[in-house]
Amino acid sequence: MIDLALLIELPAPLKVVAGFLIIMTIYSSFLGFTYWISKDE
């Protein structure tokens, strides 16, 4: 199964775009979560 999954690979420029989008998703969601737990009200 994992061998089949490894056949799916994005072209290099799209990998960079995908990487950037994942970074921004992780970053904004962790920051948002931290803000939410830090709110007083």
Point out which residues bind another protein (CB under 8 A). 2, 5-6, 8-10, 12-13, 15-16, 18-20, 22-23, 26-27, 30-31, 33-35, 37-38
Q: How far is the CB of 4 from another protein (least distance, A)?
A: 9
d(CA 11, CA 3) in angstroms, rounded, equals 18
Secondary structure of residue 24 in the 3-state scheme: helix
d(CA 40, CA 1) in angstroms, rounded, equals 47
Q: How far is the CB of 41 from another protein (least distance, A)?
A: 13
